[in-house]
């Protein structure tokens, strides 16, 4: 039985572990966090990824945790809605709202239950990968070394495995020019299933700023996103308290719901803060090491989760079809996925955080009119068509 070491127990890593077990492999997960992760933002499951989830037998569980979001609304400075968009606005072209939206933590729990009893080395990162003729010797920071057959980097946009095997981030990660943060919060607003986007112009030493609220059910629970445009100043490498202070300064003096959101952010135990980037790689494998999910093709807008789920299915299936031969399986995995990844990595129109009040007004007017413009679905990138732009092979399970 071939052993596959997966760096990262997130959505990509757990999905791959499920399909590897399905095909008779022995997966082992390595996770930097000291325990299973919880929390996180609302994420989308679209198109072919929904089919993969159904083949895993967890579609009903995923649907049961749908956040209930049915549209997005753009607000003006006074918090009044000036434009809306729903999944039906572009017909078969697909809109900006996914057919299924679920909290990342809920999806992780569902995937972990589906995977079952699998070894996880929590509180560890891979520090060295040395390939030999009969396997890969992997060294960890807090566990004894071990030799495995294959290593998979499913460890995110700033992948440690990719750095070890391919090179530094600067060579493969295109900087998108802004920072993002997420945290759980609560509101007394009646969101009624609507995501709300509120923008502020440049100020307080940064460029355009944005707040986006994702409702979770009808209890007032939500996930808040705060983002701002700025050169890369290393903010994502600061401690959590410093990041909270930074966000409070960036949004100081803002109106609408921002004072209350900042207060809740300061008290939140779960804050995600990162520099936005997009990964560009010509190949996703080197020798016995292969990349999956954000480490290989991260940085899409709304399709990262779906591509990770589909990629896990294809990678495990191609390894099974090749009898575990990585030299045959890895190129086939890349060939099956590359066009799907390319079309789903295109970012839709509409500035995320315009710098000026006029820019915010113009963006809001554009998004308001877009559903009614000829070719509006095409301008949005044909999101649903792109999400279904791969034909999933049938990979028989191990017997």
Question: What are the tens digits of pLDDT across the range 319-371?
Answer: 999 999 999 999 999 999 999 999 998 766 556 789 999 999 988 888 878 77
**What residue ranges in 193-271 does DSSP mark as E strands?**
194-200, 209-215, 221-229
Q: Helix %, strand %, coil % for the chain, to 5? A: 35, 25, 35
Phi, psi at 192, each rounded to 5°? 50, 40
Question: What are the tens digits of pLDDT across the range 222-281?
Answer: 999 999 999 999 998 899 999 999 999 999 999 999 999 999 999 999 899 999 999 999
pLDDT of residue 335: 97
Segments of the chain with pLDDT less than 50: 92-94
Contact status, residue 35 vs residue 122, Cβ threshold 8 Å:
yes
pLDDT of residue 296: 97
The helix-helix angle for 240-250 and 258-267 (nearest 10°) equals 170
pLDDT of residue 93: 43
pLDDT of residue 92: 45
pLDDT of residue 122: 97
Expressed in angstroms, the distance from the first to the final Cα of the chain is 13
Distance in angstroms (rounded) separating the CA atoms of residues 250 and 90: 35
Q: Which domains does the chain have, with CATH numbers?
A: 3-66+95-171+278-347 (3.50.50.60), 175-276 (3.30.9.30)
pLDDT of residue 41: 86
CA 99: distance to chain centroid?
16
């Amino acid at each position: 039985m071939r052993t596959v070491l997966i760096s990262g127990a997130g959505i990509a890593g757990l999905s791959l572990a499920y399909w590897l077990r399905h095909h008779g492999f022995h997966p082992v997960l390595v996770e930097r966090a000291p325990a299973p992760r919880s929390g996180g933002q609302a994420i989308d499951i679209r198109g072919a990824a929904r089919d993969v989830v159904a083949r895993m037998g967890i579609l009903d569980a995923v649907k049961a945790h749908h956040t209930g979001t049915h549209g997005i609304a753009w607000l003006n400075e006074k918090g009044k809605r000036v434009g809306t968009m729903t999944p039906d606005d572009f017909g078969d072209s697909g809109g900006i709202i996914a057919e299924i939206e679920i909290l990342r933590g809920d999806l992780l729990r569902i995937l972990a239950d589906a995977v079952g009893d699998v070894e996880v080395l929590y509180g560890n990162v891979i520090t060295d990968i040395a390939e030999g003729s009969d396997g890969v010797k992997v060294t960890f920071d807090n566990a004894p070394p071990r030799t495995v057959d294959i290593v998979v980097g499913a460890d995110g946009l700033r992948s440690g495995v990719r750095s070890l095997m391919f090179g530094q981030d600067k060579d493969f990660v295109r900087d998108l020019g802004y920072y993002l943060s997420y945290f759980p919060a609560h509101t007394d607003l009646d969101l009624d299933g609507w995501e709300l986007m509120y923008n502020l112009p440049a100020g307080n030493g940064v460029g355009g700023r944005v707040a986006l609220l994702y409702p979770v059910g009808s209890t007032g629970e939500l996930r808040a996103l705060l983002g701002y445009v700025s050169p890369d100043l290393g903010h994502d490498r600061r401690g959590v308290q410093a990041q909270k202070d930074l966000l409070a300064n960036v949004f100081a003096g803002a109106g609408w719901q921002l004072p209350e959101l900042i207060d809740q952010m300061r008290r939140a135990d779960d804050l995600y803060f990162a520099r936005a980037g997009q990964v560009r790689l010509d190949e996703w494998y080197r020798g016995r090491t292969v990349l999956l999910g954000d480490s290989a093709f991260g940085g899409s807008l709304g399709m990262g989760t779906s591509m990770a789920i589909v990629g896990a299915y294809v990678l495990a299936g191609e390894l099974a079809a090749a009898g575990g031969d990585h030299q045959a399986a890895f190129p086939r995995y890349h060939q099956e996925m590359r066009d799907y990844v390319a079309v789903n990595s295109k970012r839709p129109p509409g500035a995320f955080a315009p710098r000026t009040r006029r820019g915010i007004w113009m963006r809001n007017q554009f998004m308001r009119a877009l559903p009614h413009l000829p070719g509006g679905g095409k301008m949005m990138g044909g999101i649903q068509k792109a999400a279904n732009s791969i034909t999933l092979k049938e990979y028989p399970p191990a017997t």
